Amino acid sequence: MPGNKGVYFRLAAGLIVVVLVILIGVFTPLITLLNPATGVAQNAANLVVGSHLYRISGLIDNVTVIQDTNGVYHIYAANNHDLFFALGYIQAKNRLFEMEVFALTGLGNISTMLGSSYNSYDRFWTMIGAPLTAEEDWENVLANASVNPTDNLTATALEAYSDGVNAYIAYAEAHNVVPFEFKLLGYKPFNWTPVDSFAVQELETTLEFGDDGLIFALLYHKLGNATYTLIPTFSPIQQYYYGGYNGPPNPYVLAMSHHTYPVNSTLASMAHHVAQVWDPLRLSMLNYFLNPETHSNEWVVSGNRTTTGSPILVGGPVLSFSLPPIWFQVQLVDPTYDVYGVILPGAPVVVIGFNRYISWTLTDTQAISDGTYFWDQAVENGEYLWDGSWHPLIHHTINGLTVNWTNLGPILYQNGTNALVVTWMGNTFSNDIGALLNVMKAENWQEFRAALEIWKAPYQNFAFEDNTTIADISPACYPIFNSTSGVPYNPASIMPGDGQEYISGCIPYSMVPQVVNPPNGFIVSSNQRQVGPAYPYWFGNTMTPSPGYRAFMEVNYLSTHPKVSVQDMMSLQGNNYTDYEAALTLPYIIKDLSNTTNPLVIQALNQLKSWNYEMYTNSTAASIWFYTYMYLFNDTFIPYLYAKGVLPEYKDVIDPSGMGGSFPGTTGLSALDVDLAYIIMTGNPSPFSNQTLSSLLTEAVNQAMRFLTSQYPDGNYTWGHFYGFYFPSLLGVSALSVGPLPRGGDYNTPNDASGGGPPSNWPSGGQSWTMVVSMANVSDSFGVYPGGQSENPASPLYSNYISVWMSGGYLPLYFIASPTAFPSALVKATIILSPR
Amino acid sequence: MEAKLSIIVSFILGLALGYLLLLSGIWYLVILGGAIVGLLISGRWLHQFLTLFVAGVASTLIYTYPLFRDGLPKLMYVVGVIAGINGNILLLLMMVISGAMSGAGGLIGSSIREAVRGRGRTTHIVGGHEPEAHT
């Protein structure tokens, strides 16, 4: 039997290996992930860019999809249904993981995919009402589809799109090519529904979503009426208001803005608590839109000022970067549509783009308090007080969390019988998808303007051009505040929620900021305030997001260039690094310091005097300007905020630095950037500092020079050492991210973003899509976004546009009417989607 | 000569079965493939184990060969970066696990065959080598 012993030993050894492998499979994802047939290896099949025929259930006719040499998809369908079905299929093929991350984020459910570390994010997002609104939006669209053509078109598009996404999910599961991120996370992709598309829209609504009202209340608690000096209602610096209304301030609006509801310690404590939860959201990698430190550009020039004789439109929405990026480039063609542009993952509409007749682009509006309005409301025993009587709270249970709503919105925080309630315009029913579906097929300004009338939120400026018209409009439901007791309280702070102050409606569409064919022949709406002080409605203050210097630089350029070409416009957007605030204030600084004997200051002035205000990477003067400005900002405002008790008590929510919070770990308050320029120009730092401007400037220049020479003792402190861009991967994995890469610019230049100093503080946001469209020939348009069409980091189309974007370059946008007209040299692959 | 033939046949059969069973999508079936070869083909246990180990690796290599052309190494690099493991190690692990499953199956199969038929009474389908008795 000794031989048998050996046999049993070998049998046991074999079984042990098998058990070991099984245990590895049970307790680790290794066997699932590495399975050659179903694991991540199979995803390599999806890296191949090539022609393919897919037979799919649910299509009515064949759809031809051409992927051009830049990776852009051109979808040619015979009807609306198939167009949106194919779009869903193609987008899911390239971006399914990103789409589901977007939808889950919008639904307050991202922790189910990414883990419990996102619980607080989900809780906040659920509390604010976004998931509920996404569902209600879809229910509204469905309910009205039989009587409202826009809702009917929306329902058709969203259902077909969802079917297309789900057809791809089914294909991917059957062929084991579900994006590898799902496999790594052990998460099965969920089937897409129109509610998910509305959830993505809710996420987009965070373009206007902030806690400005709470911050203002905290400042008012400490500063009282001095808050109006720190955060002026209207800029004391000259501004360009595209919508007009220059002139003296409307007395009623000014009175309202200077009539702030008292903020006692209890209310301040509640505001502070909510702001502490709110503010970190800005830092989350999930907030593509919620980044008040980055802004956007748009301008449009009329034909009589262009070399072609036709209008030119330029768009540059500044958003947070990610890889994959938030944009996906397509051309959509069927009997109704022939449109080119960028779409969001999960929302089947071109947000920014052009068709044969028109072109349009978007930016954030200035002022109007982020679309969030806060109220101090009494709540007791499950009821809220309004207009002298008690009403039952409305309970919503979403994602396992019960949220209590009053008539004004969700309760964010409760202390005894005091509740802090928010009215967020993102919770207003707004069929933005339907509006854009109509914009995509509009042929003139009238149709375009009519399409946007249903747009309620987020607050956006829409620049427009057709062959003969340039225009801009900021459609939205801007609340009109009224009061039963005289002048209403300032809506930029917390308001009384007992019924004395209330929203009586929206500013009429005919009165929202807008302009058509202005006499100067151009329009700029780059986040500056749209309407001047004479505007008859309350429209916010200067708090965020832009001090307006960038817009003014663009206005200055266009004013001084009577004829511009497409090339000029690309150059202005992509390679112009003029800091207009420097141009505005540096002459005053140089004059103020002209008699200095301080050697460091003299050394700095020698460079600044010959500087052309360009934030080029090879400029040392640019570095001197930046740091001088930043130290001057700190020396002027920070001691003041400490003296008044704002700091250190509220340092976790109010910790400003200059240029929109460009120092590490700080935030921006654009009003303070306005204040500082005003101080420099008037030479009077009062009431913020008791020192003279000369004294503050001397100290700031000294600090800047000491810092720069400590960093680069050889004097080579060029701006490229302190500024550039970083493109983080969606999952925050540094090896799959790109950068930091040096590039010119700063907070006040077209390619603007806050940040600077160590590369870890370089901006991870910027112009997320640069587009130049000339109506002389829309087929000769240009654009690029930093990223690529594929979400797979192993794909050659993952980050291939970044080098173009970094150089300030553009790619041609091939706008081709039919697959047969597509030049073969421009075809990378042809995909046929055929009904099964 | 017979031992060599046994190794060659085991390898070819292990490779073919491994490849076919990989197609099923159930990776664990590779164990069964090894076991079948072990049951059918006699040979020294160490030879059997090593041959089927290599056959398991080879079948996986062949199975994934088109994926290598498509960019599998780059993909595994990416997956490795996210998972915190070197991508080449992941690829190596995939091969080793396939080999281990196939080899272990072979070990089990040959042991069962021996245990059932008894020492020295094996019917050699191919080969004719008396395995462990001489070791």
Beta bridge partners of A54: A833
State the residue for tokens 């209602």.
Answer: A233
pLDDT tens for A196-211 read 999 998 888 777 778 8
Instruction: Give yes or no for residue B123 having a pLDDT over 50.
Output: no
State the residue for tokens 């009426």.
Answer: A225
CA atoms within 13 A on the CB side of B132: 23
pLDDT tens for A239-265 read 899 999 999 999 999 999 999 999 999
Task: Answer whether A33's CB lies under 8 Å from A184's CB.
Answer: yes
Which chain B residues are within 8 Å of A15, Cβ to Cβ?
Answer: 104, 108
CA A138, A141, A146, A149 dihedral sign is: negative
Beta-sheet strands, E only, within A190-325:
297-301, 312-316, 318-320
Q: Is A517 exposed, middle or buried (0-12, 13-18, 19+ CB in 10 A)?
A: middle
**Containing H/E element for A741?**
strand A738-742
Q: Across the interface, do B74 and A47 touch by the CB < 8 Å criterion?
A: yes
Closest CA to A456 of A490, A424, A497, A488: A424
What does the alpha-carbon distance between residue A442 and residue A410 come to, in Å, rounded to a whole number? 37
Mutate to test the interface with A, among B37, B47, B63, B108 (most CBs of A within 10 A): B108
Instruction: Give yes or no for residue A471 having a pLDDT over 70.
Output: yes
Closest CA to A791 of A388, A323, A310: A323
Which chain B residues are within 8 Å of A39, Cβ to Cβ?
Answer: 94
With an 8 Å Cβ cutoff, is B78 touching chain A?
yes
Cis-peptide into A324, omega within 30 deg: yes
Beta bridge partners of A379: A384
Mean pLDDT computed over every residue of chain A = 93
**Containing H/E element for A26?**
helix A2-27
**Sequence-distant (≥ 6) Cβ neighbours of residue A690 within 8 angstroms:** none
Label residue A58 left, alpha or beta by phi (over 0 means left) and psi (-120 to 50 means alpha): left
Q: Across the interface, do A47 and B82 touch by the CB < 8 Å criterion?
A: no
Label residue A291 left, alpha or beta by phi (over 0 means left) and psi (-120 to 50 means alpha): beta
Instruction: Give yes or no for residue B103 having a pLDDT over 90.
Output: yes
What does the alpha-carbon distance between residue A206 and residue A128 come to, in Å, rounded to a whole number? 11
Distance between A521 CA and the closest CA of chain B, angstroms: 50
Mean pLDDT computed over every residue of chain B = 85
Q: Return the higher-pLDDT residue of A426 and A525.
A: A525
Q: How many Cβ atoms sit within 10 Å of the Cβ of residue A605?
A: 18
Round to the nearest angstrom and report the end-to-end CA distance of chain B: 17
Report CA Rg, chain B: 17
Which one-letter amino acid corresponds to residue A553? M
Instruction: Give yes or no for residue A765 having a pLDDT over 80.
Output: yes
Q: What is the mean pLDDT of residues A185-190?
A: 95
CB neighbour burial string for A267-300, b if at least 16 within 10 angstroms, e if fewer: bbebbbbbbebbbebbebebbbbbbbbbbbbbbb
> pLDDT over 90 for what percent of chain A?
83
Q: Across the interface, do B74 and A794 touch by the CB < 8 Å criterion?
A: yes
Residue of A nearest to B27 (CA): A35
Instruction: Give yes or no for residue A479 having a pLDDT over 80.
Output: yes
Which chain A residues are within 8 Å of B78, Cβ to Cβ?
Answer: 180, 736, 792-794
According to DSSP, the β-strands at A52-56 and A827-835 are parallel
Q: Return the higher-pLDDT residue of B84 and A623.
A: A623
Q: What is the mean pLDDT of residues A381-405?
A: 94
**Sequence-distant (≥ 6) Cβ neighbours of residue A34 within 8 angstroms:** A40, A41, B90, B93, B94, B97
Among B23, B97, B105, select the one facing A37 at the smallest CB separation: B23
Which chain A residues are within 8 Å of B114, Cβ to Cβ?
Answer: 7
What does the alpha-carbon distance between residue A41 and residue A509 come to, in Å, rounded to a whole number? 55
What does the alpha-carbon distance between residue A315 and residue A319 come to, in Å, rounded to a whole number? 13
Q: How many Cβ atoms sit within 10 Å of the Cβ of residue A769?
A: 27
Which one-letter amino acid corresponds to residue A243? G
Which chain A residues are within 8 Å of B119, Cβ to Cβ?
Answer: 3-4
Mutate to test the interface with B, among A23, A24, A35, A178 (most CBs of B within 10 A): A35
Instruction: Give yes or no for residue B129 having a pLDDT over 60.
Output: no
Q: Across the interface, do B22 and A793 touch by the CB < 8 Å criterion?
A: no
Cis-peptide into A587, omega within 30 deg: no
Taking only residues 24 to 63 of chain B, the set having a beta carbon closer than 8 angstroms to any beta carbon of chain A reads: 24-25, 27-28, 31, 45, 60, 63
Which chain B residues are within 8 Å of A7, Cβ to Cβ?
Answer: 111, 114-115, 132
For residues A365, A369, A371, A377, the Cα torsion angle rounded to the nearest 10 degrees is: -170
Q: How far, CA to CA in Å, does A443 sit from each of A360, A777, A817?
A: 12, 15, 16
Q: Across the interface, do B75 and A36 touch by the CB < 8 Å criterion?
A: no
With bands split at pLDDT 50, 70 and 90, how would you rate the model's confidence at A754? Answer: confident
Round to the nearest angstrom and report the end-to-end CA distance of chain A: 65
Among B27, B67, B112, select the one facing A31 at the smallest CB separation: B27
* Structure token pair of residue A223: 């500063």
Write down the ipTM of this complex.
0.88
Q: Across the interface, do B28 and A48 touch by the CB < 8 Å criterion?
A: no
Which chain A residues are within 8 Å of B66, Cβ to Cβ?
Answer: 45
Distance between A207 CA and the closest CA of chain B, angstroms: 30
What does the alpha-carbon distance between residue A676 and residue A670 come to, in Å, rounded to a whole number? 10
Q: Across the interface, do A736 and B81 touch by the CB < 8 Å criterion?
A: yes
Q: How far, CA to CA in Å, does A370 sit from each of A337, A458, A459?
A: 33, 9, 8
With an 8 Å Cβ cutoff, is B17 touching chain A?
no
Mutate to test the interface with A, among B59, B62, B94, B113 (most CBs of A within 10 A): B94
Instruction: Give yes or no for residue B133 having a pLDDT over 80.
Output: no
Distance between A731 CA and the closest CA of chain B, angstroms: 8
Which chain B residues are within 8 Å of A40, Cβ to Cβ?
Answer: 75-76, 79
Position A4 scores a pLDDT of: 73
Strand order in the sheet with A63-68: A52-56, A827-835, A63-68, A73-76, A328-333, A338-344, A347-355, A359-364, A460-465, A470-473, A514-516
- Largest Cα separation within chain A, whole Å, is 109
Q: What is the mean pLDDT of residues B81-88?
A: 90
Among B45, B72, B110, select the one facing A41 at the smallest CB separation: B72
According to DSSP, the β-strands at A347-355 and A359-364 are antiparallel
Cis-peptide into B66, omega within 30 deg: no
Position A367 scores a pLDDT of: 66
Distance between A24 CA and the closest CA of chain B, angstroms: 10
What does the alpha-carbon distance between residue A555 and residue A137 come to, in Å, rounded to a whole number? 39
Distance between A178 CA and the closest CA of chain B, angstroms: 14
- Estimate the crossing angle of helix B45-70 against helix B29-40, to 10 degrees: 140
Which chain B residues are within 8 Å of A184, Cβ to Cβ?
Answer: 79, 82-83
pLDDT tens for A556-584 read 999 999 999 999 999 999 989 999 999 99
Q: What is the mean pLDDT of residues A450-454?
A: 97
Taking only residues 81 to 120 of chain B, the set having a beta carbon closer than 8 angstroms to any beta carbon of chain A reads: 81-83, 90, 93-94, 97-98, 100-101, 103-108, 110-112, 114-115, 119
Among B78, B100, B114, select the one facing A794 at the smallest CB separation: B78
According to DSSP, the β-strands at A470-473 and A409-415 are unpaired
Position A287 scores a pLDDT of: 57
Instruction: Give yes or no for residue B124 having a pLDDT over 80.
Output: no
Per this entry, what is the length of chain B? 135
With bands split at pLDDT 50, 70 and 90, how would you rate the model's confidence at A394? Answer: very high
Q: Across the interface, do A8 and B111 touch by the CB < 8 Å criterion?
A: yes
Task: Answer whether A32's CB lies under 8 Å from A183's CB.
Answer: yes
**Containing H/E element for A112?**
helix A111-114
With bands split at pLDDT 50, 70 and 90, how would you rate the model's confidence at A795? Answer: very high
Q: How far, CA to CA in Å, does B102 sit from each of A13, A32, A37, B20, B108?
A: 13, 17, 16, 13, 10
Position B126 scores a pLDDT of: 46
Task: Answer whether A37's CB lies under 8 Å from B23's CB.
Answer: yes
Position A290 scores a pLDDT of: 52
Q: Give the DSSP letter of residue A386.
A: E
Position A284 scores a pLDDT of: 53
Distance between A657 CA and the closest CA of chain B, angstroms: 35
Beta-sheet strands, E only, within A285-393:
297-301, 312-316, 318-320, 328-333, 338-344, 347-355, 359-364, 372-380, 383-386, 389-392
Position B114 scores a pLDDT of: 86
Which one-letter amino acid corresponds to residue A77? A
Q: Across the interface, do A3 and B103 touch by the CB < 8 Å criterion?
A: no
Q: Is A254 exposed, middle or buried (0-12, 13-18, 19+ CB in 10 A)?
A: middle
Position B122 scores a pLDDT of: 45
Beta bridge partners of A501: A483
Position A369 scores a pLDDT of: 63
Beta bridge partners of A578: A614
With bands split at pLDDT 50, 70 and 90, how would you rate the model's confidence at B134? Answer: very low
Position A173 scores a pLDDT of: 96
Instruction: Give yes or no for residue A283 having a pLDDT over 50.
Output: no
Q: Across the interface, do B60 and A36 touch by the CB < 8 Å criterion?
A: yes
Position A810 scores a pLDDT of: 97
Q: Across the interface, do A18 and B66 touch by the CB < 8 Å criterion?
A: no
**Sequence-distant (≥ 6) Cβ neighbours of residue B54 within 8 angstroms:** B11, B99
Which chain B residues are within 8 Å of A788, Cβ to Cβ?
Answer: none
Mutate to test the interface with A, among B68, B72, B93 (most CBs of A within 10 A): B72
Distance between A721 CA and the closest CA of chain B, angstroms: 28
Among A18, A24, A792, select the one facing B31 at the smallest CB separation: A18
Q: How far, CA to CA in Å, does A53 sit from each of A69, A242, A682?
A: 19, 50, 69
Q: Across the interface, do B82 and A184 touch by the CB < 8 Å criterion?
A: yes
What does the alpha-carbon distance between residue B23 and residue B3 come to, in Å, rounded to a whole number? 30
Count of pairs with CB atoms under 8 A, one residue in A, one in B: 129
What does the alpha-carbon distance between residue A598 and residue A705 come to, in Å, rounded to a whole number? 12
With bands split at pLDDT 50, 70 and 90, how would you rate the model's confidence at A107? Answer: very high
